Amino acid sequence: MSLAIRSECKSDEGAIDEVTRQAFASHPYSSHTEHFIVDALREANVLTISLVAEQSGQVVGHIAFSPE
């Protein structure tokens, strides 16, 4: 299987939300609000880099950087 890394687009937002929720679901020190943080940073237009990993047409990973 091939993995593609690309910039996020508007249609990825729901998948990014789900990937983020799953990533922190069992983390013992999570307040389970990480997806809200990503959304707020995106809304404030301060995501310097926001990339998704896509496999077989589905978003399977996300990474973002922000100076905020």
pTM of the model as a whole: 0.90
Give residue 41's pLDDT band: very low, low, confident or very high (50, 70, 90).
very high
Contact 66, 46 (CB under 8 A): yes
Would the pLDDT of 1 be above 90?
A: no
Q: Which CATH code for domain 3-65?
A: 3.40.630.30
CA dist., res. 65 & res. 22, Å (int): 19
DSSP 31: -
**Averaged pLDDT of the chain:** 95
User: pLDDT tens across 6-36, in order?
Assistant: 999 999 999 999 999 999 999 999 999 999 9
